[in-house]
Amino acid sequence: MNIRPLGDKVVVKSLEAEQTTKSGIVLMGAAKEKPQEAEVVAVGPGGVVDGKEIVMEVAVGDKILYSKYAGTEVKYDGVEYVILRQNDILAVVE
């Protein structure tokens, strides 16, 4: 993947299964609650961020839980990602 996050930032992609109604309509977007489970697709190098030494504890491929109010959504090449600071990641799901 060609997104290289800076510092303690982590790029994740929601593990959001498409939701289809009985009539076959695919539900999208704002009406659905933002998912809180995601897969890590890129990890920043860590190092000194905002004057504090940060060691990265997640790796590409990890499934994570994050707060639904954290991070910034970005759309790149038609795909939606969320870019979080590692501190906004609550837990790794194993």
Binding residues for a copy of itself, per CB under 8 A? 2-7, 9, 11, 36-37, 42, 44, 48-53, 55, 57-58, 65, 67-68, 72, 74-76, 83, 86-87, 89-94
Burial class (CB in 10 A: 0-12, 13-18, 19+), 7: middle
In the bound state with a copy of itself, the residue whose beta carbon lies nearer, of 60 and 76, is 76
Integer Cα distance of 42 and 4 in angstroms = 7
In the bound state with a copy of itself, the residue whose beta carbon lies nearer, of 24 and 94, is 94
In the bound state with a copy of itself, the residue whose beta carbon lies nearer, of 18 and 53, is 53
Angle at CA of residue 6, ends 34 and 87, nearest 5°: 50
